[in-house]
């Protein structure tokens, strides 16, 4: 109650000196004498609660402030008739800067996180091909794409080495519990990358890579017929080039993973360049 007493005393002193518009007092005149009596807390208990020595009793900013509801309740128990809105109005405001939000935390660490996942593409002869996609969270950048008909753990580990040459590996790699990632932990450990596995049947925990795979299907593979592995590689290479250089993203303030400059109207007329075999187009201004 030491902190509460200090706050109540300051509130009572401020209320006794302020007048409302109609000239009446905001609190009874007996508030200040009652609240000036403080009971000093145990010094050891305060140090254990704060992890450091107790600040000066007059420095209320150094103490944990109580909510206006609790202060109003204390005043009621002391027989002081004052509304809770008045207590909230004249409470000392916390001058400390607000803490970072969870969104800011993710934004600050996005450059250290990458995600990997596999999806299946059937060919015209009903052969199943597996595509590995590795995505960087910071700019939604597709780092690596690989195709195989038999995704073993050794193949997946080699693709991770190809995607992160030298010391350019991220700090964390998100992946699901697919058997293709079962034996990649030693490889990632040697690259100083910490693997993070998602929970079973929880694709939402790796939402960025799931969204990219959905975009690849809706914007590319659902509109082409895959004949063989070489053809799939060509189609994916064309789409990845379009995705990185031309496709805008809402999460990137409607910019592309490789930033595009804003072209003024004075730069010339608008010309459309076909990409991904004509499935998509890139609009640029060209001089007349």
Give the residue extent of every domain in the chain: 2-89, 110-258
Q: CA-to-CA distance for 169 and 180, rounded, in angstroms?
A: 20
- Give the least confident one: 91-95, 108-112, 256-260: 91-95
pLDDT at 18 over 50: no
Nearest to 71 by CA among 57, 56, 49, 91: 91
According to the model, what pLDDT value does residue 122 have?
Answer: 96
According to the model, what pLDDT value does residue 232 have?
Answer: 97
According to the model, what pLDDT value does residue 50 have?
Answer: 41
According to the model, what pLDDT value does residue 149 have?
Answer: 94
Question: CATH number for the 110-258 domain, one of 3.40.50.2030, 3.40.30.10, 3.40.50.720, 3.30.420.10?
Answer: 3.30.420.10
According to the model, what pLDDT value does residue 54 have?
Answer: 44
pLDDT at 170 over 70: yes
Beta strands in 139-268 (DSSP E): 141-148, 172-175, 194-197
Nearest to 53 by CA among 191, 45, 61, 83: 45
Q: Based on C-alpha coordinates, what's the Rg of the chain?
A: 31
According to the model, what pLDDT value does residue 251 have?
Answer: 87
Residue 21 pLDDT class (50, 70, 90 cuts):
very low
β-bridge partners, 20: none
According to the model, what pLDDT value does residue 270 have?
Answer: 93
Higher pLDDT, residue 174 or 71: 174
pLDDT at 202 over 60: yes
Beta strands in 229-279 (DSSP E): 269-275
Higher pLDDT, residue 102 or 82: 82
Crossing angle of helices 229-245 and 207-219, rounded to 10°? 110
- Please give the average per-residue pLDDT across 241-265, as a whole number: 94
- Give the least confident one: 76-85, 109-118, 130-139, 256-265: 76-85
According to the model, what pLDDT value does residue 71 have?
Answer: 85
- Please give the average per-residue pLDDT across 177-184, as a whole number: 91
Residue 93 pLDDT class (50, 70, 90 cuts):
confident
Both tokens of 288, joined, read: 């007349």
Residue 4 pLDDT class (50, 70, 90 cuts):
low
pLDDT at 287 over 90: no
What is the torsional sign of CA 195, 115, 255, 235? positive
């Amino acid at each position: 109650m030491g902190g509460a007493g200090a706050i109540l005393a300051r509130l009572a002193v401020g209320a006794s000196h302020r007048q409302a518009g109609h000239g009446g007092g905001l609190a009874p005149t007996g508030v200040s004498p009652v609240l000036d009596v403080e009971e000093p807390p145990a010094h050891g208990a305060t140090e254990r609660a704060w992890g450091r020595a107790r600040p000066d009793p007059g420095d209320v900013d150094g103490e944990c402030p109580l909510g206006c509801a609790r202060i109003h309740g204390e005043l009621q128990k002391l027989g002081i008739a004052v509304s809770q809105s008045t207590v909230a109005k004249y409470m000392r405001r916390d001058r400390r800067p607000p803490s970072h939000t969870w969104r800011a935390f993710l934004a600050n660490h996005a450059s250290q996180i990458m995600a990997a996942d596999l999806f299946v593409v059937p060919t015209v002869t009903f052969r199943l091909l597996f595509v590995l996609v590795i995505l960087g969270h910071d700019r939604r950048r597709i780092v690596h794409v690989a195709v195989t008909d038999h995704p073993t753990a050794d193949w997946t580990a080699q693709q991770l080495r190809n995607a992160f040459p030298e010391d350019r590996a991220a700090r964390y790699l998100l992946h699901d519990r697919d058997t293709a990632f079962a034996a990649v932990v030693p490889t990632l450990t040697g690259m100083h990358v910490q693997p993070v596995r998602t929970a079973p049947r929880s694709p939402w925990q790796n939402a960025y890579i799931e969204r990219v795979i959905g975009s690849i299907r809706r914007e590319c593979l659902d509109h082409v017929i895959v004949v063989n592995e070489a053809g799939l590689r060509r189609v994916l290479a064309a789409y990845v080039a379009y995705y990185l250089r031309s496709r805008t993203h809402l999460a990137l303030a409607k910019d592309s993973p490789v930033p595009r400059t804003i072209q003024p109207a004075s730069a010339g007329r608008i010309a459309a360049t076909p990409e991904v075999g004509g499935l998509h187009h890139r609009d640029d201004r060209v001089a007349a």
